[in-house]
Chains A and B, each alone.
Chain A
Amino acid sequence: MGTPVISAHDVCKVYRMGTEEVHALSNVSLDIEEGNYVSIMGPSGSGKSTFFNMVGGLDTPSSGHVSVEGYRLADLNSRQLAWFRCHKIGFIFQSFNLIPTMTAVENVSIGRIFSGVSPAEAQKDAARVLERVGLGHRLDHLPGEVSGGQQQRIAIARALVNQPSIILADEPTGNLDLKTGEEIIDLLNEMKQQYNITVITATHDMKMLSASDVVVSIEDGAIKRVAKKGEFEVKVGSIDGETVA
């Protein structure tokens, strides 16, 4: 048993749209252990991104609380949250979100610079991580000059450069074809093993579950089940999960 690195307790998130209330998350409680690869599985609109925003310190729950490595995020001020995001979390997005005017190495080094490292050092670190994800030959290319899969690799390097304890990947394969998507999942899994990072991915694609230690199924903002490795079976295009939670 590892220690929970993320602990969500009775988290609710309500969005008010005029007079209507949208319950994006309802009483979500979840502990995620250090070094696990966790897939949050659910259809579009089920609340995956909302949950990620809470864990990444981008948004606060309407009620309940989230703590990450023991930090109660709702109590941090904006500069502490910036520090937390910079040092503890590596964000990966569906549409890559690379800065189009920055080269690969600049995209990766900017986060390192935010952490307080000198630009020259940051550049070296960025080049090293880019090499590690297989893009040593694309250091000075702009995002528009490389393929989608390569852009996501740059984004993974960017997420790794500050040696975070958690990677939050919100539908990282959503804009990629199946084969490239699988390569990205394999890379994330490799990074998890090598650096003992906790990886959390959101997906609505069952084919992307192969690397998971834990699969959390979420529907309409509520957790339906939590299945550990061995309790679910990844078949081609289907999941055979036992209800645990």
Chain B
Amino acid sequence: MAVETQLRNGSVPQQKDVSWGIAMAVSWAGLRRRLLRALITMAGVILAISFLSYMLITDSITQALVAVNNDRLNVLLQNTGVDVFGAEGTDQMTLLLIGLSLLTCFVGIVNAMLMSVTERVREIGTLKCLGACDSFIVKSYLIESAVQGLIGALIGMIVGLLVSLVIAIVNYKSFVFTNFPVLPILKALVLSFLTGTLLAVIASIWPAYLAARKQPVDALRIEE
């Protein structure tokens, strides 16, 4: 009997992982139906990334305009507080502000994901009863956060672009169009987008790990 038991244990297969594609489909359906919570998380990303892209794009535009060295334009630049003859590059204060806003955003996402784990302890336990591996739980949290980061960054990037363009046009009129720095602005957009997405994914690693570590018994004992 003992020998037979040993033999059978050896033959129990290891549960296979669910592919990223399938995990993606499952997470996406969940996100769509939990739109409000998703929007709250996204709002943080949108704010931080619109600020980042606004700063980067405004900087690109002023640098391009300073380089023109036109007298009338220099007056306009000085009126908005740009040091036309000063050193190029973003100043320390701006960098600090950007850093702080990104940090706030990061903490916000971690917090939102931790809340989502607490809210869904029972759900996680149930999924494990149905045969989910830890890896599926990790994947779904990473995907969920990545999607929120991606969409948030995309919206934030567009908001930042629009705001910086409007302000630049008000300040510098048609000079903006004749000296439009296409490449630096594209670079700024890509940088903002990647920053937002990456931030969201990194922020969800710890919550995802905590979620996957939940044991089904502990998850199911929590009574409503």
Residues of B within 8 A of A71 (CB): 5, 8-9, 12
Q: Does A58 contact B (CB under 8 A)?
A: yes
Shortest CB–CB separation between residue A144 and chain B, in angstroms? 10
Shortest CB–CB separation between residue A61 and chain B, in angstroms? 13
Q: Does B178 contact A (CB under 8 A)?
A: no
Shortest CB–CB separation between residue A104 and chain B, in angstroms? 13
Q: Does B26 contact A (CB under 8 A)?
A: yes
Within A64-90, the residues touching B (CB, 8 Å) are: 67, 69-72, 75-80, 82-87, 89
Instruction: Write out, one digit per residue, whether chain A residues 201-221 have a CB within 8 A of any chain B CB (1) or not (0).
Output: 000000000000000000000
Is A72's CB under 8 angstroms from B5's CB? yes
Interface stretch of the complex, out of A108-116, A128-136, A180-188, A236-244 = A108-116
Question: What interface size band does chain B fall in?
Answer: 35 or more
Q: Does A95 contact B (CB under 8 A)?
A: yes
Within B200-224, the residues touching A (CB, 8 Å) are: 215-217, 220, 223-224
Shortest CB–CB separation between residue B189 and chain A, in angstroms? 33
Pick the contact of A102: B5, B18, B29, B136 (CB < 8 A): B29
Shortest CB–CB separation between residue A196 and chain B, in angstroms? 20
In the assembled complex, the Cα of A162 lies from the Cα of B130 at a distance in Å of: 10
In the assembled complex, the Cα of A162 lies from the Cα of B15 at a distance in Å of: 14
Q: Does A125 contact B (CB under 8 A)?
A: no
Q: Does B22 contact A (CB under 8 A)?
A: yes
Is A83's CB under 8 angstroms from B130's CB? no
Shortest CB–CB separation between residue A75 and chain B, in angstroms? 5
Q: Does B40 contact A (CB under 8 A)?
A: no
Residues of B within 8 A of A (CB): 4-6, 8-9, 12-16, 18, 22, 25-26, 29-30, 33-34, 122-123, 125-134, 136, 215-217, 220, 223-224
23 contacts between A and B (CB under 8 A): A56-B129, A58-B217, A58-B220, A59-B217, A71-B5, A72-B9, A80-B12, A83-B13, A83-B131, A85-B128, A85-B129, A86-B15, A91-B130, A95-B223, A95-B224, A97-B122, A99-B123, A101-B30, A102-B29, A111-B130, A113-B26, A114-B15, A119-B22
